[in-house]
Each structure stands twice: as C-alpha cells, then as structure tokens.
Amino acid sequence: MLLFAVFMLLPIVFIVSHAFKPYDELFVYPPEFIVRRPTTQNFIELAQITSGSIIPISRYLFNSILISAATVLLTTIISAMCGYALAKQPFPGRKILFATIVLMLMFAPEVVQIPRYLVVSGLGLMNTYPGHILPLLALPVGVFLLKQFMEQIPNALLEAARIDGATEFGLFLKIAVPVCMPAVATVAILSFQNSWSNLETSSYFMQDDYMKTFPYFLSTLTSNLANNVARQGAAAVATLIVLAPNLIFFIILQRRVIDTMVHSGIK
C-alpha cells in the first residue's frame, strides 16, 4: 500500500516541481522529474502577463472561488434532500424518478451541451453567476450515493424520533445528515472538483472575460501563440494553482470522512 501511495503522489510532485523549473529544464529531454535549480521566475511571468491586461488574474480567481463555493454548498444540500426523499419518503413515481436519475449517469457531458445552452439562454442567465452555477447543480452521482447511504438508516430510528416530536426537516438535519456525513463529504469533493476545473460554463455561457473563471484563463495562456515555448513557465504555475485547491479540499474532507466513519454510528 505504501508503494501504491508513493506512485499516486508522483504526478502531484511533478506538477509542483514543474512550476519551479527554469525554461532550460522545462524543455529538457528526457524530462527531469525533480527540478535542479528552482526559480520563481515563472510566477513573476504569470503576474506580468495579467498586469497589463484589462482583466487581472485576481478576477478569474475570485470568480472560480465564488462559483465553486456556491456550487458545493447548493449541490450538497440538493443532493442530500433529494436522496433523503427518495430513500425515506414514499411517494408515487419514486422508483421511476430514481431510475431516471441513474440513467443520467450514462450520458456524457457533450450529449447535453446543446440543451444546457438552450436552457441557460432561455432563462436569461448568460453572463451571470447563476449561469455558472445552475448547470452544475444537478449531480446524479451525488443523489445516487446519498440515496443508497440513507437507505441504511433504520426506519425504527426515524419513527422513534417522530414519536418524540421531531419534524421531517428535523429528522433530515439531525439524524440523516450526521449519520451520512461520509457520503456528504464525498459529494462535496466531487462537486468541488467538477466546479473548480469546469470550462464549459465560461466557454459557452459567458461572453465577457470578467465573468470567466481561472481554468478558462489557463486554457488561453498558450493558445494562439506563434510558438510552443512562450508562456510555458506561466502555464506550469497556473496548472499548480488549479491543482492546489483541489488537493487541499480533498485532504480536508478526506480526514473528515475517516473521522466520521470511525467515531460516528447509529446508537
């Protein structure tokens, strides 16, 4: 397991090392895994690229942080409430609805790209933050995971709480969610990764650059250039910036998942 863990860390180590390489090491062949002469020139180059532009790099980062935070919060809430309703609230058409959600897992993002554009455009959400957030709120894998997890909660536990006077919202908030925190944390991780690295909303729904996100800025760093050398150092740093929040968010919630699985339970 230790060998597998080290193997999984290699890409992360390479990206961090790559961001600090001078240009002569960036293009050496065969590629060197560890930087020999670390430099911060790539960071300076990235700052210089946006210093003279109309849209500063801080604007792209602000958009990404705001959109990702809102998406994670809303997606987790919606997925948890939908999973609880499907698992513990019998209503007509429940099985058909759940089968439809599972069926959505089979569709690639490219299949629904045109319908998404038509919906966002029809709702008047082009060039707005809701235009970024709304298309990412439907997370079928999150609903599926939480529904399956909440089905493990004994009905007797919920009935006992109802006898004690708990409301349905109280059952959801005080029993279902605490017991299912590992699944909730997993959904939050998936939602954050999907939102933070998303290019679709910036590319198709936003016309003004000040409304676009950092991953979109990264995609434009080396595009439409006369050669493949220019800005590669800045692109390496931008890649590290995109990776770092994903890694930090995963580490924080992964610890929460482990702690919850060890210390929580139905008592």
Domain that residue 146 falls in: 56-263
Q: Give a yes or no: residue 114 inside a domain.
A: yes
Q: Give a yes or no: residue 87 inside a domain.
A: yes
Cα 12 off chain centre by: 18
How many folded domains does the chain comprise? 1
Q: Give a yes or no: residue 36 inside a domain.
A: no
Pair 198, 213: CB distance under 8 Å? yes
Pair 219, 213: CB distance under 8 Å? no
Neighbours of 3 (CB within 10 A): 7
Tokens of 142: 């999150």
Write down the pLDDT at residue 52: 67
Is residue 223's pLDDT more than 80?
Answer: no
Determine the Cα–Cα distance for residues 194 and 249; give it in Å rounded to an integer.
13
Determine the Cα–Cα distance for residues 117 and 204; give it in Å rounded to an integer.
7
Q: Give a yes or no: residue 18 inside a domain.
A: no
Q: Give a yes or no: residue 121 inside a domain.
A: yes
Give the model confidence (pLDDT) of 85-114 as tens digits.
998 888 888 889 988 988 888 887 778 888
**Helix (H) and strand (E) counts in the chain:** 15, 0
Write down the pLDDT at residue 266: 47
Determine the Cα–Cα distance for residues 12 and 196; give it in Å rounded to an integer.
17
The runs of H, that is alpha helices, within the chain are 2-19, 23-26, 41-51, 57-88, 94-104, 113-122, 129-137, 140-150, 155-163, 168-171, 177-179, 181-196, 200-204, 214-220, 232-263
Write down the pLDDT at residue 263: 45
pTM: 0.82
Q: Give a yes or no: residue 130 inside a domain.
A: yes
Q: Give a yes or no: residue 46 inside a domain.
A: no
Determine the Cα–Cα distance for residues 171 and 258; give it in Å rounded to an integer.
24
Q: Give a yes or no: residue 17 inside a domain.
A: no
Is residue 72's pLDDT more than 90?
Answer: yes
State phi, psi for 71 to the nearest 5 degrees: -65, -45
Question: What is the domain-level CATH number for residue 98?
Answer: 1.10.3720.10
Mean pLDDT of 26-42: 82
- Cα–Cα nearest to 127, from 199, 202, 63, 214: 202
> Which residue do the tokens 């409304």 mark?
211
